[in-house]
Structure 1
Amino acid sequence: MPASARYFFHLVSDHEVIPDEEGIDLWNEEGALLSVIRAANGLIKEGLMSDEWQDWCLEVMDGTGRTILRISLSDFNQAQRIFSLH
C-alpha cells in the first residue's frame, strides 16, 4: 500500500500569503483536488467569497513545495455556485 503524502492549502494574493502551516495527509493528488472542493465549499458556507477575496487564490502544494493546483477565488460563479477550473 502506498504511503500518504502531506499537502498544504495556502491562501495567496499578489501581496500576501496566508500559509497552511499544518497541511493534511492525503493518498494522492486526486485526494488533494477533493480537499480543495471541500475547502472551497467551506469558504462559501462561511461567507468568505465576498469581493474582498476576489484577488486571492487557493494554492495546493505537495510536501516538496511543488504547486499541484491553484484556483482563483475570483473564478467562483455566485449564480451557479461553482468554480471554473482552468
Structure 2
Amino acid sequence: MRYFFNLASDHDAISDEIGMELANLQSAIDGARRAIDELTRELPSTTRDWRGWRLEITDEFGHVLETLILSADEDPTRSN
C-alpha cells in the first residue's frame, strides 16, 4: 500500500505528492518515528521551529491513518 507523509499545522500544510510503498501501516509509523527521532537528535535547535506541526500519514485517498507530533516540547511518539 502507498502511504503519504504530510506535514501540517493549524496554519499551513506541506503535502507529500509521491508517498512510499510500504508493507503496512506499522512500517509507515515506525519509519516516521525514526525520521522524527533522527531530526531531533541531529538538529535539536530546529525542533522548536516545528512547534505546532504534525506529520500525518495518509492513504492514497487522503484519509489520515496516523498523526505524529513534531515539536520537541511534545512527545513525538504520540499518535491517534
Same fold, TM-score > 0.5, yes or no = yes
Alpha carbon RMSD of aligned pairs, Å?
1.7
**Which structure has the larger Rg over C-alpha atoms?**
1
The count of corresponding residues between Structure 1 and Structure 2 is: 75
**Are the structure 2 counterparts of residues 20 and 42 from structure 1 closer, same or farther at C-alpha, using a change threshold of 3 Å?**
farther
- In structure 1, stretches of 5+ residues that fail to align are 77-82
- In structure 2, stretches of 5+ residues that fail to align are none
Q: Which runs of 4+ in 1 moved over 3 A?
A: none
- Structure with more helix by fraction: 2
> Percent identity between the aligned chains?
36
TM-score normalised by structure 1 residue count: 0.74
- The separation in 2 between residues aligned to 1:43 and 1:20, in whole angstroms, is 18
Q: Tell me whether 1:12 sits opposite 2:8 in the alignment.
A: yes
TM-score normalised by structure 2 residue count: 0.79
Q: Tell me whether 1:52 sits opposite 2:52 in the alignment.
A: no
Q: Tell me whether 1:64 sits opposite 2:57 in the alignment.
A: no
- Structure with more strand by fraction: 1
Residue 22 of structure 1 corresponds to 18
